[in-house]
């Protein structure tokens, strides 16, 4: 399965919209806090990530998604439950890493 830059952009937009949802008013998980701090949701300037900055994706439970992608550099990789990259899993755009 391949992920185009458009697919990754759509995923990031959905992640940002979910982060802004009032339903997410409870305690934040590590992934949500990490993501929100990079999106600027915890600061005074609002949701504006730095151009080209990697923003992690969280699943519906607030955990790091197993596959993380950085659209600006066209790469995806696998992460552990703490959001740390698993060495040797990084692949170029158009490919999805095997995280099993």
pLDDT digits (tens, 9 = 90+) for 23-62: 556 899 999 999 988 887 655 666 566 778 899 999 999 9
Q: Which domains does the chain have, with CATH numbers?
A: 5-20+27-92 (4.10.800.10)
Task: Name the more confident of 15 and 96.
Answer: 96
Question: What pTM was estimated for this model as a whole?
Answer: 0.67
Is residue 39 within 8 A of residue 13, CB to CB? The reply is no
The angle at the Cα of 13, spanning 43 to 46, to the nearest 5 degrees, equals 15
Q: What is the mean pLDDT of the chain?
A: 81
Q: In this predicted structure, what is the pLDDT of residue 26?
A: 80
- Three-class secondary structure of residue 41 per DSSP: coil
Q: In this predicted structure, what is the pLDDT of residue 75?
A: 96
Q: In this predicted structure, what is the pLDDT of residue 83?
A: 96
Q: In this predicted structure, what is the pLDDT of residue 63?
A: 97
Q: In this predicted structure, what is the pLDDT of residue 40?
A: 76
């Amino acid at each position: 399965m391949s992920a185009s830059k458009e697919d990754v952009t759509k995923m990031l937009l959905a992640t940002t919209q979910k982060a802004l949802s009032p339903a997410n008013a409870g305690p934040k998980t590590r992934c949500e806090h990490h993501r929100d701090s990079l999106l600027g949701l915890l600061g005074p300037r609002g949701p504006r990530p730095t151009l080209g900055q990697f923003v992690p994706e969280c699943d519906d439970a607030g955990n790091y998604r197993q596959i993380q992608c950085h659209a600006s550099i066209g790469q995806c990789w696998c992460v552990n439950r703490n959001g740390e990259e698993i060495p040797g899993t990084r692949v170029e755009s158009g490919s999805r890493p095997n995280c099993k």
